[in-house]
Amino acid sequence: MTPANWFEQEPALQRLMKRQLADAYPRALPRLTQMGAKSANDVTKWSALADHQGPRLVVRNREGQRIDDIEYHPAYHDLMRTSLNHGLHAGPWADPRPGAHVARAAKVIVWYQVDAGHICPVSMTYAIVPALRHQPDVASTWEPMICSSTYDPADLPPSAKAGVTCGMALTEKQGGSDVRANTTRAEPDGEASGSAFRLTGHKWFCSAPMSDAYLMLAQAPGGLSCFLVPRWGPDGTRNPIRIQRLKEKLGDRSNASSEIELADVWGRLIGEEGRGVHTIIEMVNHTRLDCILGSTSIMRQGVAQATWHAAHRAAFGKLLATQPLMANVLADLAVEAEAATVSALRLARAFDAGPGDEHELLLQRLLTPVVKYWACKRAPVHAAESLECLGGNGFVEESNMPRLFRQSPVNGVWEGSGNVICLDVLRALAREPATLDAFWSEVGLADGGDARLARAIDDLHADLKDQATLETRARSLVERMALVFQSSLLVRFAPEAVADAFCGSRLGGGTAAGTFGTLPVGTDTTSILERHTPA
């Protein structure tokens, strides 16, 4: 199934967006429709080409000089151009009005369904801005270039380009979660340099190595620090970032991920020396939001494909979608995707909060890891079940379901794997207890809407108070926080059938294993499927 419009195929997303953006950002809706429609014409083809004929590393030019370049299929550039033209990489910074992060989030959910891989550099470009603002003089140079909506892939110094993209390189061979163990060294670049450094070491993962600049962590004399490392140095020569090889990955194939050596590269200190983690965490938080959007997008695409297939395929004399057991599976997949969508967009609204909006900032701190953990955990099982709904065809590349499935675990690994994310939730609760108060008041807005939710909130209250063995129970607690949050949003904003199905199966009901297709008897699967099946 290739939709005529990737946004309009999604009535549930449209309704959510209309409500979220009606006042704050009405201009976003026609732009979303426009972007969704573009996909009908070209992008299915672009995406297949970009994925099948993935990036190639070109280490040297024909004269033998090192160029460390990445060659992409032209279709990849078409995808990037469209993303940047629509502001997926910087819309909220270029036009920071209320609702801008929500509008961007909806665009990412729509566009990631077309091609996930190229969203990686788009996402890192978006996320670098708040970290760069720790160094206002650097931000004032780079932010206007980042905010340009022109895609310019030329390998030239940034001043000669119409727009730039950015990446990040934290992970080293010995570890990605524990970045404090980084061994890359940063030495001051001459006595009077102040904020200029030379970096030497290696990075085991550096996605989008053709970016114009990267944030990197390295050990400076004052401790682990954050640096902006441009592809071209300030003297107008190529910075010696040596790409060693490209990773052969499970999915995410249109995106290049590389291993790089840093041979005395020039870098500019961002933020305070020795406070690298504090500085780069701003970037990490924004890419975590995008991990949630990506996982949500995978679930939305799974539902669209599975419901459409079942609405058109007959077995044993009846359309699959009308058969009770299949309707249960499809409706279960649909409510999961709707819960992911509503929680992702609600969280994006917290990213729109200004400095004085304490409640939203506290929610952002706690719910970013909570929702990231859960959306990323659900995406792979959701993709597997959606694939199964298409039977044998779902296992065949032409259906696109194998690609969806291969992509589905990536967001769970990137920017904090499951355990690391759960530990981050515990850290937020311990260091900023007000985040939990904000959480209770947010989920309390659904108060009285559903007795099962009220009970789940009480149980969670009690279990979070018990400080013993918190770390061992972290996954179970974070999962329940996510479910309570998602249930509260569905109770407030979704049709009764959706909220009822979700609360009835996720809050103490359903199977212990959480298999899809186990909604309780009496669930209104018909109206759930009407809401989610593409026309």
391 binds ligand FAD (CB under 6 A): no
Judged by beta carbon, residue 48 or residue 410, the one nearer ligand FAD is 410
Measured CA angle at 302 (ends 299, 303), to 5 deg: 90
Judged by beta carbon, residue 6 or residue 414, the one nearer ligand FAD is 414
Contact with ligand FAD (CB under 6 A) among 240, 418, 495, 509:
418
46 binds ligand FAD (CB under 6 A): no
On whether the CB atoms of residues 313 and 289 are closer than 8 A, the answer is no
Least Cα distance to 215 among 135, 108, 295 occurs for 135
On whether the CB atoms of residues 339 and 490 are closer than 8 A, the answer is yes
Kind plus residue range of the DSSP H or E element containing 336 = helix 324-351
Choose the binding region for ligand FAD from 54-62, 136-144, 162-170, 237-245 (rule: CB under 6 A): 162-170
Q: Which residue is nearest to ligand FAD (CB)?
A: 176
Least gap, CB of 75 to ligand FAD (angstroms): 20
Spatial distance between the Cα atoms of 348 and 109, rounded to a whole number of angstroms? 12
Least Cα distance to 378 among 370, 526, 477 occurs for 370
Choose the binding region for ligand FAD from 169-177, 189-197, 347-355, 443-451 (rule: CB under 6 A): 169-177
Least gap, CB of 417 to ligand FAD (angstroms): 3
291 binds ligand FAD (CB under 6 A): no
Q: Virtual CA dihedral for 530, 531, 532, 535, nearest 10 degrees?
A: 60
Residue 279 tokens read as: 């500085």
Residues 423-482 that bind ligand FAD (CB under 6 A): 423
177 binds ligand FAD (CB under 6 A): yes
Least gap, CB of 130 to ligand FAD (angstroms): 17
Residue 147 tokens read as: 């905010």
Least gap, CB of 410 to ligand FAD (angstroms): 5
Query: Longest C-alpha distance within the chain, in Å?
Result: 81
Judged by beta carbon, residue 100 or residue 215, the one nearer ligand FAD is 215
On whether the CB atoms of residues 481 and 439 are closer than 8 A, the answer is yes
Contact with ligand FAD (CB under 6 A) among 76, 374, 414, 493:
414
Spatial distance between the Cα atoms of 471 and 272, rounded to a whole number of angstroms? 31
What is the total residue count of the chain? Answer: 535
Judged by beta carbon, residue 153 or residue 175, the one nearer ligand FAD is 175
252 binds ligand FAD (CB under 6 A): yes
Judged by beta carbon, residue 284 or residue 299, the one nearer ligand FAD is 284
Spatial distance between the Cα atoms of 504 and 456, rounded to a whole number of angstroms? 11
Helices (H), 86-187: 91-94, 100-112, 119-132, 136-147
What b/e readout covers 477-503, taking b as 16+ CB neighbours within 10 angstroms? bbbbbbbbbbbbbbbebbbebbbbbbb
Contact with ligand FAD (CB under 6 A) among 24, 263, 413, 436:
413
Spatial distance between the Cα atoms of 157 and 325, rounded to a whole number of angstroms? 59
Judged by beta carbon, residue 419 or residue 515, the one nearer ligand FAD is 419
The residue with tokens 């309009």 is 8
Judged by beta carbon, residue 423 or residue 454, the one nearer ligand FAD is 423
On whether the CB atoms of residues 409 and 250 are closer than 8 A, the answer is yes
Bridge partners, residue 202, by sequence: 261
Between strands 213-220 and 166-169, the pairing is parallel
* Phi and psi angles of residue 189, each rounded to the nearest 5 degrees, phi first: -90, 75
Contact with ligand FAD (CB under 6 A) among 169, 299, 389, 429:
169
Site string for ligand FAD, 187-226 (x = CB under 6 A): ------------------xxx-------------------
On whether the CB atoms of residues 348 and 104 are closer than 8 A, the answer is yes
Least Cα distance to 202 among 247, 276, 267, 260 occurs for 260
Least gap, CB of 391 to ligand FAD (angstroms): 29
Judged by beta carbon, residue 171 or residue 533, the one nearer ligand FAD is 171
Contact with ligand FAD (CB under 6 A) among 33, 141, 417, 518:
417
Spatial distance between the Cα atoms of 356 and 359, rounded to a whole number of angstroms? 9
123 binds ligand FAD (CB under 6 A): no
Least gap, CB of 72 to ligand FAD (angstroms): 16
Choose the binding region for ligand FAD from 129-137, 154-162, 413-421, 521-529 (rule: CB under 6 A): 413-421
* Phi and psi angles of residue 268, each rounded to the nearest 5 degrees, phi first: -110, 130
Contact with ligand FAD (CB under 6 A) among 145, 170, 387, 507:
170
Judged by beta carbon, residue 257 or residue 523, the one nearer ligand FAD is 257
Least gap, CB of 169 to ligand FAD (angstroms): 5
410 binds ligand FAD (CB under 6 A): yes
Contact with ligand FAD (CB under 6 A) among 77, 81, 242, 249:
249
Choose the binding region for ligand FAD from 170-178, 343-351, 374-382, 486-494 (rule: CB under 6 A): 170-178
Judged by beta carbon, residue 32 or residue 116, the one nearer ligand FAD is 116
Least Cα distance to 167 among 95, 134, 109, 119 occurs for 119
| Binding residues for ligand FAD (CB under 6 A) | 167-171, 175-178, 205-207, 249, 252, 257, 410, 413-414, 417-420, 423
